[in-house]
């Protein structure tokens, strides 16, 4: 069990998927629906916290997940041709988790195909 403020930070971070269709239009996919569980457990899974965190390792770990997400999205009728995984960070706010998300910065991790 984790202590309540273990790994506490002044910034929010989240992996985000950007889906691209054949016309070049993009859609932001929040991937929490692909990671069941309550918020703390889901966040730990999405961030692959138990895995090695260098960029090459993260790329190899996330590519199979992106492949599965693309398969599910296509089965739901979305004709995406590419998925990009970015790491999004933004300041925390007493107004709520997403309150300052408009100030986010994105860091590219990997893409498929």
Q: Backbone dihedral region of 66: left (phi > 0), alpha (psi from -120 to 50 degrees) or beta?
A: alpha
Q: What is the pLDDT of residue 14?
A: 81
How would you list the strands of the sheet with 11-21, edge to edge? Answer: 26-29, 11-21, 80-91, 105-112
How many Cα atoms sit within 13 Å of 59 on the Cβ side?
10
Print pLDDT tens along the chain (113 aa).
Answer: 556 666 667 888 888 899 999 999 999 987 777 776 656 666 665 666 555 567 788 788 889 889 999 999 999 999 999 999 998 889 988 998 888 888 889 989 889 88
Whole-structure pTM value: 0.75
């Amino acid at each position: 069990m984790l202590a309540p403020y273990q790994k506490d930070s002044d910034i929010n971070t989240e992996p985000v998927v950007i889906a691209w269709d054949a016309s070049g239009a993009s859609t932001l996919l929040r991937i929490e629906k692909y990671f069941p569980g309550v918020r703390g457990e889901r966040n730990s899974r999405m961030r692959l916290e138990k895995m090695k965190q260098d960029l090459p390792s993260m790329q190899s770990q996330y590519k199979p997940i992106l492949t599965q997400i693309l398969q599910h999205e296509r089965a739901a009728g979305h004709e995406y041709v590419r998925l990009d995984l970015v790491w999004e960070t933004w300041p925390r706010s007493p107004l709520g988790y997403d309150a300052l998300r408009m100030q986010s910065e994105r860091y590219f991790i990997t893409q498929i195909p």
